[in-house]
Chains A and B, each alone.
Chain A
Amino acid sequence: EAGVTQFPSHSVIEKGQTVTLRCDPISGHDNLYWYRRVMGKEIKFLLHFVKESKQDESGMPNNRFLAERTGGTYSTLKVQPAELEDSGVYFCASSQTDVSSYEQYFGPGTRLTVT
């Protein structure tokens, strides 16, 4: 079974540009989460999808960030326009809805550098 995949693994963009990160969850996982780790800080929650619906977007920093989950499958996180403080590692995680297991499976992350 394939794990959570994220693309790209690295992205370097200039301030003011747009970047789109993609996450493919484990097949059949209805829950999809985005997290971000800024250098030296803790991993912070951004938002949570259940299928195609946003369940919790309380962690989204501002309206420059837009997340979508097309058809309840893969998800994209767009940053437009990017700012220097957006640099960090963006993790995606997914989980099933089986109440016997709340484990979130994480992808390897996308390292975003804004210069």
Chain B
Amino acid sequence: AQSVTQPDIHITVSEGASLELRCNYSYGATPYLFWYVQSPGQGLQLLLKYFSGDTLVQGIKGFEAEFKRSQSSFNLRKPSVHWSDAAEYFCAVQTTGFQKLVFGTGTRLLVSP
């Protein structure tokens, strides 16, 4: 069965600094990959997704992620963090379209002034 690991439970980044959130997955083939964000009191919002093709994908709010097959990773990055980025971030995989999402445990991002 597929699984997702987000090794960092909490991360604190200074406003304006760069950010990288780690995600590793376990699956025999290349799954569909997603990053979601949950702000307080909100539902999960899709930041970006990877299905195939270019391994560097751009998302909303200035986020990007790079799929590395050799490392089974799909790390999320942002060059300059804003205070409004403070939220919880979830990496998820899907074996085929319309199937269930399998989530990691989430990484809570704190942004310091």
Contacts and interface: CB of A to CB of B under 8 A. Distances in A.
B63 interface: no
Most chain B beta-carbon neighbours within 10 Å: one of A43, A48, A99, A109: A43
A3 B105 contact: no
A86 B48 CA distance: 31
Contacts of A74: none
Given A42-B106, A43-B90, A102-B94, A56 B100 contact: yes
Interface in A15-45: 31, 33, 35, 40-45
Interface residues of A, number: 28
Interface in B43-59: 43-46, 49, 51
B42 interface: yes
B99 interface: yes
A45 B46 CA distance: 17
A108 B94 contact: no
B43 A108 contact: yes
The number of chain B residues touching the other chain, given as a range, is 20 to 34
A50 B104 CA distance: 25
B94 A45 contact: no
Most chain A beta-carbon neighbours within 10 Å: one of B42, B46, B99: B99
B100 A48 contact: yes
B44 A106 contact: yes
Interface in A57-115: 59, 91, 93, 95, 97, 99, 102-109
A41 B102 CA distance: 12
A44 B103 contact: yes
Given A41-B105, A42-B106, A56 B99 contact: yes
Nearest to B96: A102
A97 B99 CA distance: 11
Interface in B77-104: 90, 94, 97-104
Given A42-B103, A102-B32, A103-B49, A4 B97 contact: no
Given A33-B100, A104-B46, 5 more contacts: A43-B101, A48-B100, A56-B99, A102-B98, A105-B46
The 9 closest A-B pairs by CB, nearest first: A45-B100, A106-B44, A106-B43, A102-B97, A43-B103, A108-B43, A42-B105, A42-B103, A107-B43
